[in-house]
């Protein structure tokens, strides 16, 4: 039996094209992937992200504990700030990638991938048991009681505050990565200026009982600005264009954040943390593979995950493998990400993507593949 989010009825009402995604029955699209993608780039899109997990960490020891299990420097977070960070195993492999928000001095909210909720919570619990002073931290998996939406696009800041007339502050005043409490339907909701599309936008975490009312209110206040409901199809093409990793594609337990080009989020200088020695060693020695972004050099079928990447010069073996690939709705060409031997990762390297037995010319490009003009 597939899991459903509290917005399932709302998706059905909108005529969503529903598909299975990681054990969840989710909207792939409503009006069409390309149309929804372009709506987010030009105006606004509304996504159900309630399948994602929420884990809270509270107590005087929370900041030190999170600083020990996550790669980014959690001590840099002031109350009201969030950061992208990675949960690593001892080998430096990624258990998950997530957002950590410091709600208050001693309270953190971690937003994790849907497929990793149980694994993450078990890992946090195990690490906490061995952590000195672990008794000063209370961990709670709040994933089933909380729901979330993402409202993304250049027009969103112009209408989002119409949802919160009873709130003293304005969401549009939040800076990138900031989070604050707002009032909606008599409840507290968390609004952050974050997203997974490369556009300006917000993510809202709320109690499951009020999420449908919030969804409907957003559609109402965003209608005039061109807000459209958008599904996982557009979510994937949007994040691929801006080269954001997707867990299970660019990251897994055998892939380090350094290999995936996420070294910026690994604070090797902050002191000991889980995976530190493996990552420090890899940093010193250099990785044996690197994530590269590429564009197809001619009109072709879109590249897909699993396709082989070849040197333009040929060779007996592929030089890498595609991890994410699609047709870019913004650029109208095939684009993708893949791990390659380091000498092929610099931009403007000619490569070939094997599509149904034929090596189609492609070229590596700087990340992100798409940038707002």
Partner 1 sequence: MSENVPADLKYAKSHEWVRLEDGTATIGITDHAQHELTDVVFVELPAPGRKVAAGEACAVVESVKTASDIYSPLSGEVVAINPELAKRPELVNKEPYLGGWFFKLKLTQPSEAERLLSAESYASQISP
The answer to whether 33 contacts partner 1 (rule: CB under 8 A) is yes
Q: What is the signed CA dihedral for 244, 250, 256, 260, rounded to 10 degrees?
A: -50
Under the binding rule (CB under 8 A), the answer on residue 233 touching partner 1 is: yes
Whose structure tokens read 């337990």? Answer: 253
Contacts 24+ apart (CB under 8 A), 318-325: 318/354, 319/344, 319/351, 320/289, 320/292, 320/344, 322/353, 323/249, 323/250, 323/291, 324/236, 324/240, 324/246, 324/249, 324/250, 325/240, 325/353
Nearest to 295 by CA among 323, 327, 321, 339: 327
Q: Is residue 357 near partner 1 by the rule CB under 8 A?
A: no
Among 3, 17, 217, 367, binds partner 1 (CB under 8 A): 17
The separation between the first and the last C-alpha atoms of the chain, rounded to the nearest angstrom, is: 44
Instruction: Please give the full DSSP string across 87-147, using - where no structure is assigned.
Output: EE-TTS-EEEEEEEEEEETTEEEEEE-GGGHHHHHHHHHHHHHHSTTGGG-EEEE-TTTEE
Decide: is 337 part of the binding site for partner 1 (CB under 8 A).
Answer: no
Cβ-based nearer residue to partner 1, 21 or 108: 21
**326 contacts partner 1 (rule: CB under 8 A):** yes
237 binds partner 1, rule: CB under 8 A: yes
Provide the minimum distance between the beta carbon of 326 and partner 1 in the complex, in angstroms, as a whole number.
Answer: 6
Out of 2, 9, 12, 15, name the contact with partner 1 by CB under 8 A: 15
The yes or no reply on residue 327 touching partner 1 (CB under 8 A) is yes
Question: Which is closer to partner 1, CB of 17 or CB of 283?
Answer: 17
Report CA 173 to chain centroid distance, whole Å: 23
Residues β-bridged to residue 335:
295, 326
* Beta carbon nearer to partner 1, 139 or 335: 335
Residues 287-316, interacting with partner 1 (CB under 8 A): 299-302, 304
Quote the least distance from Cβ 212 to partner 1, whole Å: 22
Give, as ranges, the residues between 164 and 223 that touch partner 1 (CB under 8 A).
none
The stretch among 3-11, 31-39, 101-109, 258-266 that binds partner 1 (CB under 8 A) is 31-39
3-state class (DSSP) for residue 196: coil
Q: Does 356 bind partner 1 (CB under 8 A)?
A: yes
Tokens of 115: 């497929």
CA-based angle 265:256:201, to the nearest 5? 40
| Residue whose entry in the numeric block shows the structure tokens 């094209």 | 17
* 45 contact partners, CB below 8 Å, separation of at least 6: 36, 39, 151, 152, 153, 197, 227, 228, 229, 230, 234
Q: How far is the CB of 302 from partner 1 (least distance, A)?
A: 6
Nearer to partner 1, 115 or 327 (CB): 327
Give me the least distance between CB of 33 and partner 1, in Å please.
5
Q: How far is the CB of 4 from partner 1 (least distance, A)?
A: 18
Assign 371 to helix, strand or coil.
coil
CB of 15 or CB of 248, closer to partner 1: 15
Minimum distance of partner 1 from residue 23's CB (angstroms): 18
Dist. CA 215–CA 46, nearest whole Å: 8
Number of residues lying near partner 1 (CB under 8 A): 18
Please identify, among the stretches 28-36, 68-76, 107-115, 339-347, the one whose residues bind partner 1 according to the rule CB under 8 A. 28-36
**In the bound complex, what is the minimum distance in angstroms from residue 235's beta carbon to partner 1?**
12
Q: Applying CB under 8 A, which residues contact partner 1? A: 15, 17, 28-29, 32-34, 233, 237, 299-302, 304, 326-327, 329, 356
């Amino acid at each position: 039996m597939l899991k459903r989010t509290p917005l399932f009825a709302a998706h059905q009402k909108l005529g969503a094209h529903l598909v299975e995604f990681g054990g969840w029955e989710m909207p792939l699209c409503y009006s069409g992937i390309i149309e929804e993608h372009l709506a987010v780039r030009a105006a606004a899109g509304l996504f159900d992200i309630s399948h994602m997990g929420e884990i809270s960490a509270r107590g005087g020891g929370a900041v030190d504990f999170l600083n020990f299990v996550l790669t980014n420097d959690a001590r840099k977070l002031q109350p009201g700030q969030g950061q992208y960070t990675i949960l690593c195993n001892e080998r430096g492999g990624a258990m998950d990638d997530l957002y950590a928000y410091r709600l208050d001095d001693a309270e953190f909210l971690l937003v994790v991938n849907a497929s990793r909720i149980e694994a993450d919570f078990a890992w946090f619990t195990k690490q906490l048991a061995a952590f000195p002073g672990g008794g000063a931290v209370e961990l709670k998996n709040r994933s089933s009681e909380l729901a979330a939406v993402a409202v993304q696009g250049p027009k969103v800041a112009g209408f989002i505050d119409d949802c919160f007339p009873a709130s003293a502050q304005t969401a549009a005043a939040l800076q990138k990565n900031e989070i604050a409490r707002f009032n909606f339907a008599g409840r507290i909701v968390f609004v952050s200026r974050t997203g997974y599309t490369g556009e300006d936008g917000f993510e809202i975490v709320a109690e499951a009982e009020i999420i449908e009312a919030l969804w409907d209110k957003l559609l109402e206040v965003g209608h005039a600005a061109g807000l459209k409901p958008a599904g996982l199809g557009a979510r994937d093409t949007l994040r691929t264009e801006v080269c954001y990793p997707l867990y299970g594609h660019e990251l897994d337990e055998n892939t380090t954040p350094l290999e995936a080009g996420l070294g910026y989020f690994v604070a090797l200088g902050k002191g000991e943390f889980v995976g530190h020695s493996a990552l420090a060693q890899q940093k010193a020695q250099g990785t044996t593979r690197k994530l590269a972004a590429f564009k197809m050099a001619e009109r072709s079928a879109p590249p897909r995950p699993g396709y082989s990447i070849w040197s333009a010069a040929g060779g007996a073996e592929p030089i890498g493998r595609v991890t994410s690939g699609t047709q870019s709705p913004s650029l109208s060409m095939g684009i993708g990400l893949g791990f390659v031997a380091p000498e092929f990762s610099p931009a403007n390297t000619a490569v070939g993507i094997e599509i149904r037995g034929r090596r189609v010319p492609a070229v590596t490009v700087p990340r992100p593949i798409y940038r707002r003009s």
